[in-house]
């Protein structure tokens, strides 16, 4: 049986092609989420749906995707990557074809759920592969992968707008199905691994899934009664974690203070990055009355800056250490939010330039944060440890988006809290960015004051 150490020494026939294939699949996986944001109004019109009904196209996807990322992370500790990737890409392609041919809304929902079951494999694999297969260049590879995620988040709405505008929203499913073409390259370049026989704690996995799913549903619907289910399954899941022989999530992960601090700090920081990607399109539409294509063009420089800086930032992680890069990136992100908060309401091209500052921090925060966690985890627990990291990041995105959505519905101030910001309709957006700047500061203080640098012998 292969040990975890042996996996770092596995022969990779073509490392560059393997990395390219992983990045290609990850890009389409991330874009699949952001492209459909653009198509929501068209889907609602096609099937005569209310906003609350059509919102499940995104809610259902995020719900399955976030839980799936944790499940795949857990499985990656014992199941060969080739098996996981083959299963994930095949299921995703099947969901995409069903969505393209969907005769009614129920088939669209089913297609999105199937897509999420398969697609959630990619973020789990993408953050574990650098640790397992590129240990000497881990920071650099994590930087490249994080930059691809950032770029895909920015380019997704543009591509979605073009496809839905010139064709129809059904072709978004067909575009996503292109991921399957990378499967032969991945299978050829991934090293051979053994699948270790291990029992999965299905009850523990189900309790975690229900806890996360009801949390997202409760936030999305604003129904406090649902949180009773969340609380009960959360309690049972915690008891299960401490009593099961082989629990779905090992409880000793949470006995590591550094691990808890790193996960919470990342949760807060990623929430702010998701808020940026969620709020900016709404702001550009409401304040400047821009079209979908114009919104994409305004955000494009920021997406490109994230793509370009990712590799350099990843190399910096290898050179000076992930802790220093993480603190630096949080400081830059906080500065970026202040800049955007201060310039909302000015001309769109100024806003476009200012968005570069916070958006370029996306790959820096994710790459350095993932590297910090990799240093804290034993090789046998990399999968589940990174799975929890991915799960918390997706939940943070859903939670922050819901909070901002409610804030935008309830408040419409004409005067911003930021004294140098522009007054008027843009004030509420300035306040949102200013408030989340405070959340970045909280993340920075939490990490700087409580996280302890592990000793070389740890």
CA 265/CA 451 separation, integer angstroms:
10
pLDDT for 288 beyond 90? no
Residues 380-406, mean pLDDT to the nearest whole number: 76
Torsion of CA 77, 79, 82, 88, to 10 degrees: -90
- Quickly count: other Cβ atoms within 10 Å of residue 191's Cβ: 16
- Tokens 């910096």 identify what position? 316
Residue 15 structure tokens: 């490392």
Model confidence band, residue 159 (pLDDT cutoffs 50, 70, 90): confident
- Quickly count: other Cβ atoms within 10 Å of residue 321's Cβ: 16
Which residues 6+ apart lie within 8 Å of 363 measured at CB? 143, 146, 147, 149, 150, 306, 307, 309, 310, 313, 314
pLDDT for 419 beyond 50? yes
Answer for the pair 123, 33: CB distance below 8 angstroms, yes or no.
Answer: no
3-52 per-position pLDDT tens digit: 334 444 456 667 778 888 888 888 888 888 777 766 777 787 788 876 56
CA 390/CA 238 separation, integer angstroms:
19
Confidence (pLDDT) at 232: 92
Q: Which phi-psi region, left, alpha or beta, contains residue 222 (left: φ > 0; alpha: ψ -120 to 50)? A: left
Confidence (pLDDT) at 92: 92
Highest-confidence segment of 9-23, 103-117, 299-313: 103-117
Q: Is 22 exposed, middle or buried (0-12, 13-18, 19+ CB in 10 A)?
A: buried
Model confidence band, residue 55 (pLDDT cutoffs 50, 70, 90): low
Helix 138-166 crosses helix 15-47 at what angle (to 10 degrees)?
Answer: 30
Question: 355 vs 310, which has greater pLDDT?
Answer: 355
136-156 per-position pLDDT tens digit: 777 788 888 878 887 787 777
Question: 12 vs 191, which has greater pLDDT?
Answer: 191
Confidence (pLDDT) at 295: 77
Residue 194 structure tokens: 């053994």
162-171 per-position pLDDT tens digit: 787 788 888 8
Residues 348-366, mean pLDDT to the nearest whole number: 86
Confidence (pLDDT) at 411: 75
Answer for the pair 161, 294: CB distance below 8 angstroms, yes or no.
Answer: no
Residues 436-441, mean pLDDT to the nearest whole number: 91
Residue 322 structure tokens: 């992930």
Residue 66's closest CA among 145, 151, 150, 123? 123
Backbone phi and psi for residue 195, each to the nearest 5 degrees, phi listed first? -95, 115
Confidence (pLDDT) at 7: 43
Give the length of the chain.
458
Answer for the pair 325, 290: CB distance below 8 angstroms, yes or no.
Answer: no
Instruction: Render 109-160 in DSSP notation, one character per residue.
Output: HHHHHHHHHHHTHHHHHHHHHHHHH-GGGHHHHHHHHHHHHHHHHHHHHHHH
Residue 60 structure tokens: 């259902």
Confidence (pLDDT) at 195: 64
Residue 352 structure tokens: 């476009």
Confidence (pLDDT) at 311: 67
Residues 306-313, mean pLDDT to the nearest whole number: 74
Question: 444 vs 37, which has greater pLDDT?
Answer: 444
CA 345/CA 341 separation, integer angstroms:
9
Answer for the pair 431, 418: CB distance below 8 angstroms, yes or no.
Answer: yes
Instruction: Render 388-445 in DSSP notation, one character per residue.
Output: HHHHHHHHHHHHHHHHHHHHHHH---SS-SSTTSPPSTTHHHHHHHHHHHHHHHHHHH
Q: Which long-range contacts (CB under 8 A, 24 or more apart) does 419-424 make?
A: 420/342, 421/341, 421/342, 421/343, 421/344, 421/345, 422/343, 422/344, 422/345, 422/346, 423/345, 424/345
CA 384/CA 200 separation, integer angstroms:
12
Question: 218 vs 333, which has greater pLDDT?
Answer: 333
Model confidence band, residue 443 (pLDDT cutoffs 50, 70, 90): very high
DSSP character at residue 225: T
Confidence (pLDDT) at 334: 92
Lowest-confidence pick of 85-94, 193-202, 254-263: 193-202
Lowest-confidence pick of 67-76, 112-121, 347-356, 388-397: 388-397
Percentage with pLDDT > 90 across the chain: 10
Question: 284 vs 91, which has greater pLDDT?
Answer: 91
Average pLDDT over the chain reads: 81
Residues 439-450, mean pLDDT to the nearest whole number: 91
Predicted structure pTM score:
0.76
Question: 326 vs 389, which has greater pLDDT?
Answer: 326
Residue 262 structure tokens: 């790193």
Confidence (pLDDT) at 1: 33
pLDDT for 360 beyond 80? yes
Residues 285-290, mean pLDDT to the nearest whole number: 82
CA 152/CA 370 separation, integer angstroms:
19
CA 175/CA 160 separation, integer angstroms:
10
Answer for the pair 233, 206: CB distance below 8 angstroms, yes or no.
Answer: no
Answer for the pair 142, 314: CB distance below 8 angstroms, yes or no.
Answer: yes
Angle, CA of 126, 115 and 162, to the nearest 5°: 90
pLDDT for 253 beyond 50? yes
């Amino acid at each position: 049986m292969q040990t975890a150490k042996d996996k770092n020494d596995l022969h990779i026939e073509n490392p560059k092609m393997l990395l390219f294939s992983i990045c290609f699949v990850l890009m389409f996986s991330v874009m699949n989420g952001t492209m459909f944001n653009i198509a929501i109004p068209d889907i609602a019109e096609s099937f005569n749906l209310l906003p609350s009904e059509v919102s499940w196209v995104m809610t259902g996807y995020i719900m399955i995707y976030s839980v799936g990322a944790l499940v795949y992370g857990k499985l990656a500790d014992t199941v060969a990557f080739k098996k996981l990737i083959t299963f994930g890409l095949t299921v995703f392609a099947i969901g995409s074809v069903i969505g393209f041919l969907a005769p009614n809304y129920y088939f669209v929902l089913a297609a999105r759920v199937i897509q999420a079951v398969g697609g959630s494999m990619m973020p789990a694999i993408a953050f574990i592969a650098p640790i397992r297969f590129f240990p000497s260049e881990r920071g650099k590879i994590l930087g490249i992968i994080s930059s691809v995620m950032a770029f895909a988040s920015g380019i997704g709405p543009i591509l979605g707008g073009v496809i839905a505008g010139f064709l129809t929203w059904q072709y978004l499913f067909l575009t996503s199905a292109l991921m399957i073409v990378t499967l032969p390259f991945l299978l050829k370049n991934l090293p051979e691994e053994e699948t270790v026989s291990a029992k999965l704690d299905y009850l523990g996995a189900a309790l975690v899934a229900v806890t996360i799913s009801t949390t997202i549903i409760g936030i999305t619907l604003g129904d406090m009664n649902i949180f009773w289910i969340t609380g009960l399954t959360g309690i049972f899941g915690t008891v299960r974690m401490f009593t099961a022989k082989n629990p779905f999530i090992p409880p000793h992960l949470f006995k590591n203070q550094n691990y808890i601090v790193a996960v919470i700090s990342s949760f807060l920081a990623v929430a702010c990055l998701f808020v940026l990607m969620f709020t900016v399109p709404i702001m550009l539409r409401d304040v400047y009355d821009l079209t979908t294509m114009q919104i994409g063009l305004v955000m494009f420089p920021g997406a490109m800056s994230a793509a370009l800086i990712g590799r350099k930032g990843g190399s910096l992680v290898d050179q000076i250490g992930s802790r220093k890069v993480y603190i630096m990136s949080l400081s830059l992100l906080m500065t970026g939010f202040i800049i955007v908060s201060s310039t909302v309401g000015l001309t769109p091209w100024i806003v476009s330039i200012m968005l570069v500052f916070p958006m370029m921090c996306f790959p820096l925060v994710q790459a350095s944060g993932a590297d910090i966690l990799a240093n804290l985890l034993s090789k046998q627990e990399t999968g589940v440890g990174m799975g929890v990291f991915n799960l918390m990041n997706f939940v943070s995105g859903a939670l922050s988006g819901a909070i901002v959505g409610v804030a935008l519905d309830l408040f419409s101030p004409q005067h911003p809290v930021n004294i140098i910001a522009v007054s008027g309709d843009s004030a509420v957006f300035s306040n949102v960015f200013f408030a989340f700047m405070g959340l970045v500061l909280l993340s920075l203080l939490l990490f700087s004051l409580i996280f302890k640098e592990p000793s070389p012998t740890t």
